[in-house]
Protein backbone atom coordinates (compact mmCIF):
# COMPACT_ATOMS: atom_id res chain seq x y z
CA UNK A 1 0.00 0.00 0.00
CA UNK A 2 2.89 2.37 0.82
CA UNK A 3 4.44 1.69 -2.58
CA UNK A 4 1.16 2.45 -4.36
CA UNK A 5 0.75 5.69 -2.38
CA UNK A 6 4.34 6.68 -3.24
CA UNK A 7 3.75 6.01 -6.93
CA UNK A 8 0.52 8.03 -6.93
CA UNK A 9 2.19 10.93 -5.11
CA UNK A 10 5.11 10.91 -7.54
CA UNK A 11 2.71 10.84 -10.49
CA UNK A 12 0.79 13.82 -9.12
CA UNK A 13 3.99 15.82 -8.62
CA UNK A 14 5.23 15.02 -12.13
CA UNK A 15 1.88 16.03 -13.66
CA UNK A 16 2.19 19.47 -12.05
CA UNK A 17 5.33 20.09 -14.08
CA UNK A 18 4.43 18.31 -17.30
CA UNK A 19 1.19 20.22 -18.07
CA UNK A 20 2.81 23.69 -18.03
CA UNK A 21 5.74 22.34 -20.02
CA UNK A 22 3.32 21.26 -22.74
CA UNK A 23 2.05 24.84 -23.11
CA UNK A 24 3.45 26.51 -26.17
CA UNK A 25 4.26 30.14 -26.73
CA UNK A 26 3.71 30.99 -30.37
CA UNK A 27 5.42 34.04 -31.90
CA UNK A 28 3.34 35.67 -34.64
CA UNK A 29 4.00 38.42 -37.17
CA UNK A 30 2.20 40.13 -40.02
CA UNK A 31 2.97 43.10 -42.27
CA UNK A 32 0.14 45.59 -42.79
CA UNK A 33 -1.14 46.02 -46.33
CA UNK A 34 -3.99 48.00 -47.84
CA UNK A 35 -7.37 46.40 -48.31
CA UNK A 36 -10.82 47.08 -49.72
CA UNK A 37 -9.33 49.09 -52.57
CA UNK A 38 -7.75 51.58 -50.19
CA UNK A 39 -5.87 54.20 -52.17
CA UNK A 40 -3.63 55.02 -49.21
CA UNK A 41 -0.24 53.37 -48.78
CA UNK A 42 -0.50 51.85 -45.29
CA UNK A 43 2.56 50.33 -43.73
CA UNK A 44 3.37 48.80 -40.40
CA UNK A 45 3.11 45.43 -38.74
CA UNK A 46 1.76 43.36 -35.92
CA UNK A 47 3.89 41.28 -33.59
CA UNK A 48 2.04 38.99 -31.23
CA UNK A 49 2.60 36.19 -28.75
CA UNK A 50 0.03 33.47 -28.13
CA UNK A 51 0.21 31.45 -24.92
CA UNK A 52 -1.62 28.20 -25.62
CA UNK A 53 -1.90 27.42 -21.91
CA UNK A 54 -3.81 30.61 -21.03
CA UNK A 55 -5.21 31.38 -24.52
CA UNK A 56 -3.95 34.95 -24.13
CA UNK A 57 -2.85 36.73 -27.29
CA UNK A 58 -0.58 39.71 -26.58
CA UNK A 59 -0.15 42.11 -29.49
CA UNK A 60 1.83 45.16 -30.55
CA UNK A 61 0.64 46.95 -33.69
CA UNK A 62 2.41 49.82 -35.49
CA UNK A 63 1.04 51.67 -38.50
CA UNK A 64 1.37 54.77 -40.62
CA UNK A 65 0.20 56.00 -43.99
CA UNK A 66 -3.53 55.59 -43.33
CA UNK A 67 -6.09 58.07 -44.68
CA UNK A 68 -6.95 59.19 -41.14
CA UNK A 69 -7.12 58.07 -37.53
CA UNK A 70 -8.03 54.49 -36.72
CA UNK A 71 -11.61 54.41 -35.43
CA UNK A 72 -11.86 50.65 -34.78
CA UNK A 73 -9.65 47.58 -34.79
CA UNK A 74 -10.47 43.88 -34.61
CA UNK A 75 -9.12 40.39 -35.03
CA UNK A 76 -11.09 38.67 -37.81
CA UNK A 77 -11.30 35.05 -38.90
CA UNK A 78 -11.26 32.37 -39.98
CA UNK A 79 -9.94 33.54 -43.33
CA UNK A 80 -7.03 33.21 -45.70
CA UNK A 81 -5.12 36.30 -46.85
CA UNK A 82 -7.55 36.79 -49.75
CA UNK A 83 -10.77 36.31 -47.77
CA UNK A 84 -12.78 38.53 -45.46
CA UNK A 85 -14.28 37.20 -42.25
CA UNK A 86 -16.37 38.24 -39.28
CA UNK A 87 -14.95 39.84 -36.16
CA UNK A 88 -13.54 37.29 -33.72
CA UNK A 89 -12.36 39.67 -31.01
CA UNK A 90 -12.51 43.47 -30.80
CA UNK A 91 -9.36 45.42 -29.93
CA UNK A 92 -9.80 48.15 -27.34
CA UNK A 93 -8.63 51.72 -27.98
CA UNK A 94 -7.49 54.38 -27.79
CA UNK A 95 -6.20 53.76 -31.29
CA UNK A 96 -2.78 55.38 -31.42
CA UNK A 97 0.26 53.81 -33.03
CA UNK A 98 1.87 51.86 -31.48
CA UNK A 99 -1.04 49.96 -29.95
CA UNK A 100 -0.38 47.19 -27.44
CA UNK A 101 -2.69 44.99 -25.45
CA UNK A 102 -3.97 41.49 -24.87
CA UNK A 103 -7.12 39.52 -25.60
CA UNK A 104 -8.30 36.16 -24.35
CA UNK A 105 -9.30 33.68 -27.04
CA UNK A 106 -11.41 30.55 -26.85
CA UNK A 107 -9.96 27.18 -27.91
CA UNK A 108 -11.42 27.38 -31.41
CA UNK A 109 -9.90 30.83 -31.95
CA UNK A 110 -6.51 29.60 -30.70
CA UNK A 111 -6.66 26.86 -33.35
CA UNK A 112 -7.53 29.42 -36.01
CA UNK A 113 -4.58 31.60 -35.01
CA UNK A 114 -2.24 28.61 -35.15
CA UNK A 115 -3.61 27.68 -38.59
CA UNK A 116 -2.84 31.18 -39.92
CA UNK A 117 -6.54 32.00 -40.37
CA UNK A 118 -6.73 35.19 -38.29
CA UNK A 119 -5.95 38.74 -39.33
CA UNK A 120 -5.96 42.15 -37.68
CA UNK A 121 -7.97 44.86 -39.40
CA UNK A 122 -7.66 48.63 -38.92
CA UNK A 123 -10.74 50.69 -39.77
CA UNK A 124 -10.80 54.42 -40.55
CA UNK A 125 -13.64 56.82 -41.23
CA UNK A 126 -12.84 56.79 -44.95
CA UNK A 127 -12.63 52.97 -45.02
CA UNK A 128 -15.15 51.72 -42.43
CA UNK A 129 -14.80 48.12 -43.69
CA UNK A 130 -11.05 48.24 -43.13
CA UNK A 131 -8.15 50.15 -44.60
CA UNK A 132 -5.27 47.94 -43.57
CA UNK A 133 -4.88 44.33 -42.50
CA UNK A 134 -2.17 41.92 -41.45
CA UNK A 135 -2.50 38.14 -41.46
CA UNK A 136 -1.02 36.56 -38.32
CA UNK A 137 1.58 33.94 -39.22
CA UNK A 138 4.02 32.00 -37.07
CA UNK A 139 7.58 33.23 -37.15
Q: Is 15 part of a structural domain of the chain?
A: no
Q: Is 117 part of a structural domain of the chain?
A: yes
**pLDDT of 43:** 96
Q: Measured between alpha carbons, how far is 76 from 82 in angstroms, rounded to an integer?
A: 13
Q: Is 8 part of a structural domain of the chain?
A: no
Q: Which residues pair with 104 in a beta bridge?
A: 56
Q: What CATH number is associated with residue 131?
A: 2.60.40.200
Going by C-alpha positions, the residue among 96, 93, 99, 33 that lies closest to residue 61 is 99
Q: Measured between alpha carbons, how far is 98 from 60 in angstroms, rounded to an integer?
A: 7
Q: Is 1 part of a structural domain of the chain?
A: no
Q: Is 16 part of a structural domain of the chain?
A: no
**pLDDT of 2:** 62
**pLDDT of 21:** 53
Q: Measured between alpha carbons, how far is 80 from 130 in angstroms, rounded to an integer?
A: 16
Q: Is 127 exposed, middle or buried (0-12, 13-18, 19+ CB in 10 A)?
A: buried
Domain that includes residue 124, residue range: 23-138
What secondary structure letter does DSSP report for 90?
E
Domain tally, the chain: 1
CB 91 within 8 A of CB 103: yes
**pLDDT of 37:** 83
Q: Is 74 part of a structural domain of the chain?
A: yes
Q: Is 98 part of a structural domain of the chain?
A: yes
Q: Is 6 part of a structural domain of the chain?
A: no
Going by C-alpha positions, the residue among 4, 110, 93, 13 that lies closest to residue 56 is 110
Q: Measured between alpha carbons, how far is 24 from 131 in angstroms, rounded to an integer?
A: 32
pLDDT tens series, the chain, 139 aa: 566 455 545 444 444 444 455 668 999 999 999 987 888 899 999 999 999 999 999 999 999 999 999 999 999 999 999 999 999 999 999 999 999 999 999 999 999 999 999 999 999 999 999 999 999 999 8
Amino acid sequence: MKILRSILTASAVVSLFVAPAMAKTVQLFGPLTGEHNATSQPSGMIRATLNTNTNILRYHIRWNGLSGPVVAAHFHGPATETQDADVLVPISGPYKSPLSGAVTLNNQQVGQVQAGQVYVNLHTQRYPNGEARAQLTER
